[in-house]
Amino acid sequence: MASSGLQRFLTLDRRWIFLLEAVVVVLALVGPFVVGVKITKPVSDFHRVIHQSDPAKPLLVAVDTPPAGLPELEPMVVAILRHAFSRSQPVILVSLQMEGVAISERILNRVTGEINDQVSRTGRGEPLVSGVDYALLGFRAGFSSVIISLGEEIRNVFPTDFYGTPLDTMPLFRNTHNYDDMAAAVDISWSSTPEAWVEYAGVTYGVPILVGCTAVSAPQYYAYLQTGQMAGLLGGLKGAAEYERITNNPGAAGRGMVAQFGVHALLVLAIVLGNVAFFLDRFMSSRRPSPSTGPTGTDNRGA
C-alpha cells in the first residue's frame, strides 16, 4: 500500500508541479507578502560607480535584449534610468541587438513620461527633454565594430538619433564624442555582449563597464568582476530587486522576489521529497523478495 503510494508520487505527472508553481506565483504576486532583499557587493559597486560619477557626463546604456529577457532586464533598465535622472545625469541609449531598439524606446518613453507627469503635477523640477537629458540612438549591426567606433567618435556610428535628428543639433552631444566624455558604459544584456564590452571598450578605452544580465549568464561574469574588468553586476531579477532597493525605487523586481522565494521553496521541497521517496522506494524494494528468485533465494531464472 505504502509502496504503491510511493510509486504514484515518484511517477507524479509533472503538470501538477507546473500548476503548483503557477498557483504559488499568483498568490505571491497578489498577496500582501514582502521579502527582504540584501544588497550584495556587485550591486553596491554598480550603484557606487554611477552615484560617484560626474553627473554632467552622460551614462551610455546599451539595451541588448529580446522580449524574452524583459522580465529580468526591464526592471534593471527602469531602475537605472530613474537613478540617473534623479541626479540629473543624461542618458544615451543604444542597442546592439536589433530587438533592443523597440524595447528601449518603450521603456524610455515610460520612465520619462512618468517623471514628466510628476513634474507637471507637482510643479517641482524640470521636465526631461530629448536631446538634452536623454537620447535614443537606436540599433547598429556588428556589435564589436560599433563598440570600438563609439570609442573614437559617436557620430561615426550614429550620425543621427533613432528619429533622424542629427547629433550635432542636440545639446547633449555638444561635448560628447566618445567614452572619455561618458560616465560609464552599462550593458543590459541577455547574450554575450558584456564580454564584447569588456574586450573592446574596457580593454581598449578603459571606460568602466557595468553589466546587467539574466541570471543564467551571471555566473560566467563573476570572473570579470573579480579582476575588476567589470565594475559592477546586476544578476537576474535578484540583481534588479537589489538595485531598486539601493536606489529606493520600489518596482516590479522587488514584487517578483516574493514569487521567486515561493517557487524556490516549492522546488526545494519537491527535490527533497523526490529524493526521500526515491531512496525509500529503493530501500523497500531491496527488502521485498524479488520475483525472479525462488524461496531459497537461489536464482531459478534458468530453471
Partner 1 sequence: MNISLDIWIWVAAIFTLFVYTFLYKDNPFYKLAEHVMVGLGAGYYTAVLYHNVIVEDFLVPFGVTLNKLALTPAEFQAYADTQGMTSLPPILEDFTPVVALVLLLIPVILGLLLFTRFIPKISWISRYSLAFILGANSGIAIPNALQARVISQLRGTFVQDHGALVVPLFSIDSWRDFFAAPGISTFFDAISGPLFIVGTLCTLAYFFFSLEHKGVLGGAARVGIWFLMIGFGASFGYTVMARVSLLIGRVHFLLFDWLGLPK
Separation of alpha carbons 299 and 47, rounded Å: 70
From candidates 42, 90, 138, 151, binder to partner 1 by CB under 8 A:
138
* 219 makes contact with partner 1 (CB under 8 A): yes
User: Considering beta carbons, is residue 96 or 108 the nearer one to partner 1?
Assistant: 96
* 275 makes contact with partner 1 (CB under 8 A): no
Separation of alpha carbons 147 and 152, rounded Å: 9
From candidates 61, 78, 185, 259, binder to partner 1 by CB under 8 A:
259
User: Considering beta carbons, is residue 7 or 174 the nearer one to partner 1?
Assistant: 174
Number of residues located near partner 1, criterion CB under 8 A: 62
Q: Report the DSSP beta bridge partners of residue 93.
A: 61, 136
* 237 makes contact with partner 1 (CB under 8 A): yes
* 15 makes contact with partner 1 (CB under 8 A): yes
* 198 makes contact with partner 1 (CB under 8 A): yes
User: Considering beta carbons, is residue 25 or 119 the nearer one to partner 1?
Assistant: 25
Q: Which amino acid is at 76?
A: M
* 144 makes contact with partner 1 (CB under 8 A): yes
* 26 makes contact with partner 1 (CB under 8 A): yes
Q: Fill in the per-residue mask, 55 to 74: x = in contact with partner 1 (CB under 8 A), - = not in contact.
A: -------------x-xxx--
* 200 makes contact with partner 1 (CB under 8 A): yes
* 191 makes contact with partner 1 (CB under 8 A): no
* 166 makes contact with partner 1 (CB under 8 A): yes
Least CB distance to partner 1 at residue 255 (A) = 7
From candidates 202, 212, 232, 254, binder to partner 1 by CB under 8 A:
202
* 25 makes contact with partner 1 (CB under 8 A): yes
SS (H, E, C) the chain: CHHHHHHHHHCCCHHHHHHHHHHHHHHHHHCCCCCCCCCCHHHHHHHHHHHCCCCCCCEEEEEECCHHHHHHHHHHHHHHHHHHHHCCCCEEEEECCCCHHHHHHHHHHHHHHHHHHHHHHHCCCCCCCECCCEEEEEECCCHHHHHHHHCCCHHHHCCECCCCCEHHHCHHHCCCCCHHHCCEEEEEECCCHHHHHHHHHHHHHCCCEEEEECCCCHHHHHHHHHCCCCCEEEEHHHHHHHHHHHCCCCCHHHHHHHHHHHHHHHHHHHHHHHHHHHHHHHHHHHHCCCCCECCCCCECCCC
From candidates 34, 56, 203, 269, binder to partner 1 by CB under 8 A:
203
Evaluate the CA torsion angle 16, 21, 22, 28 in order and state its sign: positive
Residue ranges binding partner 1 (CB under 8 A): 15, 18, 21-22, 25-26, 29-30, 68, 70-72, 98-99, 101, 138-141, 144-145, 148-149, 153, 155-157, 159, 164, 166, 168-169, 195, 198-200, 202-204, 214-216, 218-219, 223-224, 226-229, 235-238, 252, 255-256, 259-260, 263-264, 267
